[in-house]
Amino acid sequence: MDLLTPEFGLFFWTLVAFLTVFFILKKYAWKPILNSLGEREKGIAESIASADKIKQEMGQLKAENEKIMAQAREERTQMLSEARKMSEQIVTKAKEDTKLIADKMITDAMQQIEQQKMAALTEVKNEIGSLAITVAEKILRSKLATTEDQSSYINMLSEEIKMN
């Protein structure tokens, strides 16, 4: 049982040593330790505040980035739509121009055909006229070979003219 109960002398000197160390620490070490703990706590609080501020800024940057991305998508969609419209307009204009050119070519070809037809008809008429004159000349020569035939033909013509 002696081991469990300390003697008074041991208790006294342990108490004196403890109080001495306590007062020395309180006088010389306690304030610097508390100051350094306060500074550390302050630094940690500032770091947390700084981290929160950075987190908020990152959130704002992310929101701005998403907004810019949405605008870029919208602009891209609008540009693609405009490009499609322009391409459709170009294709439509090209088709219209091609149709106009084809119609002009057809009209020109029809005019040329009509001109060639008229020229051919004129040539055929001239040829027929020439043949008719040649045939009439040959018939008249054979019919009016003698002077007697010529006189009778002249008389017949003069009578026809008088009748009209």
For residue 92, what pLDDT is reported?
Answer: 95
Q: Are 139 and 130 within 8 A, CB to CB?
A: no
Specify if 1 maps to a domain: no
Q: Are 143 and 153 within 8 A, CB to CB?
A: yes
In angstroms, the CA 110 to CA 105 distance is 8
Which residues of the chain are modeled with pLDDT < 50? none
For 120-142, what is each residue's pLDDT tens digit?
A: 999 999 999 888 888 888 877 77
Specify if 2 maps to a domain: no
Q: How many domains does the chain have?
A: 1
pTM of the shown model = 0.41
For residue 164, what pLDDT is reported?
Answer: 60
For residue 137, what pLDDT is reported?
Answer: 81
Helix (H) or strand (E) holding 115: helix 30-143
For residue 101, what pLDDT is reported?
Answer: 95
Which structural domain range is residue 81 located in? 8-163
